[in-house]
Amino acid sequence: MKKKLIQDAELVSNYINGDEAALSVLVHRHKQKIYSFIYSKVYDRDITEDIFQDTFIKVIKTLKRGKYNEEGKFLPWVMRIAHNLVIDHFRKNNRMPKFDNSGEFSIFSVLKDSSLNAEKSIIKEQVESDVRRIIEELPEDQKNVLMMRIYQDMSFKEISERTGVSINTALGRMRYALINMRKVIEQNNIVLTN
Amino acid sequence: MAKIYSQKTPKTIDLQPKDETISFLLNYSKALSVINYNKLKFEALLN
């Protein structure tokens, strides 16, 4: 005896009239198509499962509320619901702040790590110790003015008061200190670059 | 003779929803009842 295939439209109408088994037939009949359709868009089993479930929840609610009016087109209707939910899923994901560096603007052009890396911090230490050594070579009066100006951040007025010389003398000592340091650097080929 | 490296066809994945999902949906359907009241529709989930 040939088994008679009940059409979707009939099953839908039976379901609306309270036949729960009709829904089971509909779900089992179309589950593979709908599931594969969703999976082909999202490529994730868990998300597919969620969207599949949401699709049928929507189907069930619509049918039970008696709002379904596309008889004979059950599968395309369910597919459209699934499609809309897939779009919703992607929209929702786009709203999440995501880092995208594919465009012309690169965030790294405005953001950088200001801290020095290991190599640079070693170089910095070396440069600083070289400078200190050169300063030690300076005559005492020039060295004092330079130390007060650079390391203690004193003004020339303060330096002149502290050392008991005029501002012009302090300025002159500073000038000679720098000239002498440059000389030492050039003579010894010291590289002071960071 | 040249070796032919033909691409293996990937295993076909079984694209089926989980049984739990199906059973959840069928149970959800059984539990859901829509109550009509003066042109208003209320959904009620009865367990």
pLDDT digits (tens, 9 = 90+) for A158-182: 999 988 999 999 999 999 999 999 8
Give all domains of chain A, ordered by start, each with its CATH number: 8-95 (1.10.1740.10), 118-187 (1.10.10.10)
Residue of B nearest to A24 (CA): B26
Q: Which residues pair with A151 in a beta bridge?
A: none
| Structure confidence at residue A185 as a pLDDT band (50, 70, 90) | confident
Q: What is the complex's ipTM, to 2 decimals?
A: 0.72
Indicate yes or no: CB of B25 within 8 angstroms of CB of A36. Answer: no
Indicate yes or no: CB of A60 within 8 angstroms of CB of B28. Answer: yes
Mean pLDDT score, A110-115: 69
Contact A130, A192 (CB under 8 A): yes
Query: Which residues touch A39 (CB under 8 Å, ≥6 apart)?
Result: A45, A48, B15
Q: How far apart are CA A143 and CA A134, in angstroms?
A: 10
Residue of A nearest to B28 (CA): A57
Tens digit of pLDDT for each residue in B1-47?
666 776 666 566 678 999 999 999 999 999 988 877 777 777 777 76
What pLDDT score was predicted for residue A119?
A: 82
Indicate yes or no: CB of A20 within 8 angstroms of CB of B22. Answer: no
Residue of A nearest to B41 (CA): A65
Residue B38 three-state SS: coil
Inform me whether the C-beta atom of residue B28 falls under 8 Å from chain A C-beta atoms.
Answer: yes
Contact A177, A115 (CB under 8 A): no
Percent of chain A with pLDDT over 90: 47
Indicate yes or no: CB of B16 within 8 angstroms of CB of A32. Answer: yes
Tens digit of pLDDT for each residue in A49-73?
999 999 999 999 999 888 888 666 8
Query: How close B18 comes to chain A (CA, Å)?
Result: 8
